[in-house]
C-alpha cells in the first residue's frame, strides 16, 4: 500500500502529529511517512519519548520502522502483523510515560490487540499530562467510547532524573462507540496532591489552595488526597477533576523551584472552575485525545468542549487525512460544540495538509 505522507510541521507542529499519525497507521494498517517532525519546536526532531512510542508500536505490531533515532526529522512506519503482547521499556530519562500511553492505548485497543506494558521514565513532567490526569480523566473518557485500560504507578518520576515505573494493561476493543453525552453535566469533584523528596506541607498547601478556589465556586470536593511519594528527583503535582455523569474534566499543575505551592493548587483549580462554567464534557486536553479518534466510531458524535486548541485542530486535520470524516464546530457564549461524522473513505495518494 502507498505510504500516506504527513507533514510534521502541520498545525502546531509538535509531537502530537507523530503520535496520532502512527496510531491511525496501526489501526488502519496503512503505512505512513512523517517528515519535518516537531518542526514547530525549539529543538526539532524526535525526542526520547517519541522514539519509545515508535519502538513500542513497532514491536507490538510488527512494523517496518525507519528513522527512529533521537533528533531524526523523518520517520517511516509500516505496520505488519501483531506480535508481542507483553513489553517492558526503560526510557532512561524523564521522558513522558503518559505521552507514550496516549498513542499506544488506542492503537492496541482498536487493533483488537490486548497488551501489557511496563514503562520507566517520567510520570509527572512538563509539557505532558500528569499520570493522575491520564489514569483518572483519560481512562474514564476512553472507557466511555469503548476503550478499556488499567494503569498504576509503582513509583513517581519527576524531571530531571525520571525513574518512574508504570504498569498498564490494554483490552481489545471491537468497535469505538460514539460520544453523545445528554442531560445535565455531573460527576464527582476530587483533588489529589502529591510531592516527592520535599516536605509534606508542600502537597498539603497545594491542596488547601485548590480546595479554597473550588469551594468559592460552589464545587466542594467530595474526595481529597495528599501523598508523599518515592522518587529520584524532587517534585510535586496536583490534579483537580470532575469525572462522571458524562463529564471528563481535569486540570493538573506541576510544582517548580521557586513556584509557591499555593500557586500550583490555585492554577489547577481555577482551570477546572473555568471549564465547568462552560458546560463542557471534555476539557481541552481530553478533547485533543478523544475527538480525533471519534472519526473511527460506529456513528456520529456530538460533545461540548471547553475550547478548540491548536492540538485539536491538528488532530482533526490528521483524522480527515486518514478517514475522510467530517468535523463541525460551533462556538457560543460559553464554549464550543463539536460534531464528528465518521463517513467517507480516504483516496489513494491523499496527503495531510501542509
Neighbouring-strand partners of residue 120: 90, 165
C-alpha distances in angstroms, 143 versus 136, 151, 243? 11, 13, 12
33, 271, 304, 311: which one is catalytic? 311
Give the C-alpha separation, 293 to 27, whole Å.
Answer: 10
3-class secondary structure per residue, 297-319? ECCCEEEEECCCCHHHHHHHHHH
Neighbouring-strand partners of residue 115: 170
Q: How many helices (H) and strands (E) does the chain have?
A: 9, 15
Let me know if 50 is a catalytic residue: no
Residue that the C-alpha cell 490494554 belongs to:
170
Grid cell locating 186: 455531573
Query: From start to end of the chain, where are the E strands?
Result: 4-7, 32-35, 64-66, 74-78, 86-90, 115-121, 149-155, 164-170, 188-196, 223-229, 235-244, 247-254, 301-305, 326-331, 336-341
- Whether residue 78 contacts residue 88, with contact meaning beta carbons closer than 8 Å, is answered with no
Query: Sheet harboring 188-196: ordered strands across?
Result: 223-229, 188-196, 235-244, 247-254
CB burial string 69-108: b at 16+ within 10 A, e below: eeebbebbbbbeebeeeebebebebbbbbbbbbbbbbbbb
The C-alpha torsion from 94 through 95 and 96 to 100, rounded to 10°, is -150
Residue that the C-alpha cell 471547553 belongs to:
306
Q: Which residues are catalytic?
A: 311
Amino acid at each position: 500500500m502507498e505510504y500516506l505522507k504527513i507533514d510534521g510541521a502541520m498545525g502546531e507542529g509538535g509531537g502530537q502529529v507523530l503520535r496520532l499519525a502512527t496510531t491511525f497507521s496501526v489501526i488502519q494498517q496503512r503505512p505512513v511517512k512523517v517528515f519535518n517532525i516537531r518542526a514547530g519546536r525549539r529543538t526539532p526532531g524526535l525526542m526520547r519519548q517519541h522514539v519509545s512510542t515508535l519502538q513500542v508500536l513497532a514491536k507490538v505490531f510488527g512494523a517496518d520502522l525507519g528513522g527512529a533515532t533521537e533528533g531524526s526529522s523523518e520517520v517511516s512506519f509500516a505496520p505488519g502483523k501483531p506480535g508481542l503482547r507483553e513489553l517492558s521499556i526503560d526510557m532512561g530519562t524523564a521522558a513522558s510515560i503518559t505521552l507514550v500511553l496516549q498513542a499506544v492505548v488506542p492503537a492496541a485497543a482498536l487493533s483488537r490487540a490486548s497488551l501489557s506494558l511496563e514503562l520507566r521514565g517520567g510520570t509527572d513532567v512538563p509539557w505532558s499530562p500528569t499520570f493522575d490526569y491520564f489514569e483518572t480523566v483519560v481512562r474514564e473518557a476512553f472507557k466511555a467510547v469503548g476503550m478499556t485500560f488499567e494503569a498504576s504507578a509503582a513509583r513517581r518520576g519527576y524531571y530531571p532524573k525520571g525513574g518512574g515505573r508504570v504498569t498498564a494493561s490494554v483490552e481489545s476493543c471491537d468497535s469505538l462507540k460514539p460520544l453523545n453525552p445528554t442531560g445535565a453535566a455531573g460527576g464527582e469533584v476530587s483533588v489529589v496532591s502529591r510531592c516527592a523528596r520535599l516536605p509534606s506541607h508542600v502537597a498539603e498547601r497545594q491542596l488547601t489552595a485548590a480546595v479554597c478556589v473550588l469551594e468559592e465556586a460552589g464545587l466542594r470536593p467530595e474526595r481529597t488526597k495528599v501523598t508523599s511519594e518515592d522518587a529520584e528527583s524532587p517534585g510535586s503535582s496536583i490534579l483537580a477533576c470532575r469525572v462522571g455523569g458524562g463529564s471528563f474534566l481535569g486540570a493538573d499543575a506541576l510544582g517548580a523551584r521557586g513556584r509557591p505551592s499555593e500557586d500550583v493548587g490555585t492554577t489547577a483549580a481555577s482551570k477546572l472552575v473555568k471549564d465547568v462554567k462552560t458546560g463542557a464534557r471534555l476539557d481541552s486536553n481530553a478533547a485533543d485525545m478523544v475527538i480525533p479518534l471519534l472519526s473511527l466510531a460506529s456513528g456520529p458524535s456530538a460533545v461540548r468542549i471547553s475550547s478548540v486548541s491548536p492540538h485539536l485542530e491538528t488532530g482533526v486535520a490528521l483524522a480527515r487525512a486518514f478517514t475522510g470524516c467530517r468535523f463541525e464546530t460551533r462556538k457560543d457564549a460559553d464554549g464550543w460544540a463539536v460534531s464528528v461524522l465518521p463517513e467517507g473513505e480516504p483516496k489513494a495518494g491523499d496527503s495531510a495538509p501542509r
